[in-house]
Amino acid sequence: MDITEIWIDRKDFRKTKIVNGQSAPLTDGDVLVRIDKFALTSNNVGYALSGDFIGYWGYYPTGEDGWGKLTVWGMAEVVDSHSPEIKVGERLYGFFPMSSHVALKPGNISEAGFTDVAAHRKDLPDLYNKYQRTAGGPTYLLALEDERCLLFPLFMTAFVLADYLNDNKYFDAQQILIGSVSSKTGFALAHFLANDTAFKGKVIGLTSASNAGFVERLGSCDQVVVYGEEKTSIANVPSVFVDMSGDGPLKKLLHEYLTDNMHKSVSVGGTHWDAERVTDELPGSQPEFFFTPAHIAKRDADWGAGVLFERANQAGADLGEIVKNDIEVEVIKGAEAAQQIWLDMLDNKVTANRGIMVSI
């Protein structure tokens, strides 16, 4: 089978190459899937940024020094199977490379899904080794393939973040500031907080001038502040900062402005991926990286395994319905076009209202 892949220079993300080849023969139990489409958002830039630290480059190694296959959330169809349980024609949702096809090694197979048990993946975070068999999942998800790839993983994080803030009584803040609020993770967090009746404070979204209109239209923020106007627009009262931008100068400015009123500073992402990072000690509560699995584990202990996940799924599906007319889904086709949209994303040319799905 002819296979087309996009490889990324692990040190210079703007440098990519198209690699054409043949699929290796399947061994017993393996399946070959055709990756029909996958989502591309800043979250994938995040996978590249933390590729070595968290291990994202390890899921689909290239075997060539310095090059990696970027991981993405996508939908695929089984086109060849040496597994007695997984049939040709089955549809899967999961974590794939930016490729036309890939071979998987299913293990722990159930109706709902399986785990890729390839030896090189066994020490990597297990969440990403799991593939869902769409026929074994809820029927309402069958019609929501794009949303599942493009929105749900991000809405899940936002829901867990909102619940973490609720669980900590919002750190006694009167306002929650969200950095890069026009991101899918950012506006979903604003939405979940706006709909949390226990939170009596303000939700303040920080964004660039070009994305402010999009955030205003979504209507979840009490106030939208454009970068550069923080000190003149934001009240100096007890605050939490949840940051999707990773922008060091912005973080520093907010800490220095709010000082002891910065009750909690939670670092979630790095949409401003090439901005300077800040490592100095800052006034107020020191920034902490948010580790989503830790809060999920806490709620699993509080409420029972899977309860938070189920609530997040339902809330994510509801939000997907609410924003479906605000996000314009575009399907980008072909390897060259995929390389170009990746560059556009790195160069901040993809406005917040665009939902990019790619098909190699």
Ligand X SMILES: NC(=O)c1ccc[n+]([C@@H]2O[C@H](COP(=O)([O-])OP(=O)(O)OC[C@H]3O[C@@H](n4cnc5c(N)ncnc54)[C@H](OP(=O)(O)O)[C@@H]3O)[C@@H](O)[C@H]2O)c1
Binding site for ligand X (CB under 6 A): 41-43, 46, 154, 157, 180-185, 207-208, 211, 244-245, 268-272, 290, 292, 345-346, 348, 352
CB of 291 to ligand X, least distance (A): 8
- Residue 23 or residue 208: which is nearer to ligand X going by CB? 208
Nearer to ligand X, 172 or 288 (CB): 288
Q: Of 171, 24, 49, 173, which Cα lies nearest the Cα of 102?
A: 24
Q: How far is the CB of 157 from ligand X (least distance, A)?
A: 4
Provide, rounded to whole angstroms, the least separation between the CB of residue 163 and ligand X.
14
**Of 126, 143, 151, 138, whose CA–CA distance to 39 is shortest?**
151
Minimum distance from residue 289 beta carbon to ligand X (Å): 7
Min CB(90)–ligand X separation in Å: 28
Between residues 132 and 348, which has the closer beta carbon with respect to ligand X?
Answer: 348
**Cβ 46 to ligand X shortest distance, Å:** 2
Could you tell me if 183 and 271 are in contact, meaning their C-beta atoms sit under 8 angstroms apart?
yes
Helix (H, G, I), strand (E, B) or coil at 107: strand
Supply the minimum distance, in Å, between the C-beta of residue 329 and ligand X. 13
Helices (H), the chain: 42-49, 51-54, 145-150, 152-167, 184-194, 209-218, 230-233, 248-258, 292-303, 307-322, 335-346
Closest CB to ligand X among 51 and 269?
269
How long is the chain?
A: 360
What is the smallest separation between the CB atom of 124 and ligand X, expressed in angstroms?
15
Q: How many CB atoms lie within 10 A of CB 342?
A: 25
- Report the Cα 112 to chain-centroid distance in Å: 22
Q: Residue 46 contacts by C-beta under 8 Å, 6 or more apart in sequence?
A: 269, 270, 273
Name which of 71 and 83 has its Cβ closer to ligand X.
Answer: 71
When the beta carbons of 145 and 344 are compared against ligand X, the nearer one is 344
HSE-up (13 A, CA, CB side) for residue 350: 25
**Least CB distance to ligand X at residue 348 (A):** 3
Contact 135, 91 (CB under 8 A): yes
Give the nearer residue to ligand X in terms of CB position, either 81 or 211. Answer: 211
- Distance separating alpha carbons of residues 223 and 246, to the nearest angstrom: 21
134-162 as b/e: b if 16+ CB within 10 A: beebeeebeebbbbbbbbbbbbbbbbbbb
Q: Residue 37 phi/psi, 5° resolution?
A: -165, 155
Enter the DSSP assignment of 128: G
Closer Cβ to ligand X, 140 or 291, answer by number: 291
3-state secondary structure of 13: coil
Nearer to ligand X, 253 or 346 (CB): 346
Q: Give the Cβ contact number of residue 20 at 10 Å.
A: 10
